[in-house]
Structure 1
Amino acid sequence: MERLNSKLYLQNCYIIKENERLRKKAEILNKENQQLLFELNQKLSTTKNSNESNQQGNNNVSSSSSASRQS
């Protein structure tokens, strides 16, 4: 019985260490994911702002072209 308890204790220790290792790895992956999400959101907002600026520029060109044709 004592031998079985020792074996189970060692297995428990191994499982605890493995859980700690996996928890640290999950934490690192979570931080990487958060950083990637942040970078993606920055790129998307930059692209959105750029597209809005281009759209406004195109609207201004269209308006001035229309105005010059009417004159």
Structure 2
Amino acid sequence: MDRLNAKLYLQNCYIMKENERLRKKALLLNQENQVLLTELKQRLAKTAAAAATTNNAKANGNAAAPGNRAPIPDLNAAAVPGAHGGHEKKAAPKPKKAAAN
């Protein structure tokens, strides 16, 4: 019986030692993950800020994005029907002829 108790005691000691080793490793991994998460959040914030700046430059027609400007319309060109966004009055539809029986 004493021999069994001693064997179980040693197994328990080994398990506690392994448990402590794993606990320390888990703490180190958690710290590393926190650092990586912070770094990732910073990179994402920088990327989002850069994208917002680029989008604002495109929307404002800023010189930072010269290739994304809308072409300047030719105001001296001949007037084309419907070229003014549909503000002209449309002709009334022609009445239909009565069908002959």
TM > 0.5: yes
Q: Whose relative contact order is higher, 1 or 2, with alpha carbons under 8 Å and at least 6 apart?
A: 2
Aligned to 1:60: 60
Provide the TM-score with structure 2 as the length reference.
Answer: 0.61
Percent sequence identity over aligned pairs:
53
Cα deviation code 1:15-63 (max 9, x no counterpart): 000000000000000011111010000000000000000000111117x
**Do the aligned partners of residues 21 and 70 (structure 1) sit closer, same or farther apart at CA in structure 2, a change above 3 Å counting?**
farther
**Do the aligned partners of residues 4 and 17 (structure 1) sit closer, same or farther apart at CA in structure 2, a change above 3 Å counting?**
same
Provide the TM-score with structure 1 as the length reference.
Answer: 0.86
1:1-71 correspondence runs (5 A): 1-61=1-61
- What code does the residue aligned with 2:33 have? N
More helix by share: 1
CA distance in 2 between partners of 1:21 and 1:58 (Å)? 55
Q: Give the number of the structure whose alpha-carbon radius of gyration is greater.
A: 2
Bigger drift between 15-24 and 53-62 goes to 53-62
Structure 2 stretches of 5 or more lacking a match?
63-68, 76-101
Which consecutive aligned stretches of 4+ in structure 1 deviate over 2 angstroms post-superposition?
68-71
CA distance in 2 between partners of 1:2 and 1:21 (Å)? 29
